[in-house]
Copies of this chain bind each other. A is one copy, B any other.
Amino acid sequence: MDYTDHRAGFVFADIARFRVRLFDRLLAPHGLTTSQAWVLAHLFIEDNLPQTELARRMDVGAVTIGGLIERLEARGFVERKVDSEDRRVKRVLLKEEAKSIGRIMAECGRTLNEVAFSGMEAEKAKAVMDGLLSVRQNLLDALAEDTDIKSATDILLSKK
């Protein structure tokens, strides 16, 4: 690929926005947003997690997670309980209300994938997905190399 290809500047952002727009529409009838659903998805894998652990698994800040959970709690999908051994920690628990939605979320996700990759051969879709996972890891590494702004700039521009 030509690295001066300016299209990379918008495809990633556009795809993310379009996906969210569609998924939000699918979930709206159930009182959920895309990000909130994603929190539930993580709790389906493992319930009763501390907020910080959820944030870590979702690569999101502690503040962002706090807001998501607050809204999920307000809508009755989860509840927070202070950890008995470490009172700084709040553990997030799925409530019954949420459990029935898992299947719907999975179905919507599958449908959205079908739409996104429609007209693409399975082989190619697999290759794209594979490539995306390494792009994601590359960016994550670049971010991890240094959280400091000036240094991040250095890391990126020093490779010029």
A interface residues with partner B (beta carbon < 8 Å): 1, 3-22, 25-26, 28-29, 34, 38, 41, 58-59, 106-120, 122, 124-129, 131-136, 138-140, 142-143, 149, 152-153, 156-157, 159-160
Contacts and interface: CB of A to CB of B under 8 A. Distances in A.
B6 A132 contact: no
Ordered nearest first, which 6 A-B pairs have the shortest CB separation? A16-B16, A128-B131, A1-B125, A18-B139, A3-B113, A25-B152
Number of copies: 2
Given A6-B41, A122-B1, A129-B7, A15 B115 contact: no
B15 A12 contact: yes
A9 B29 contact: no
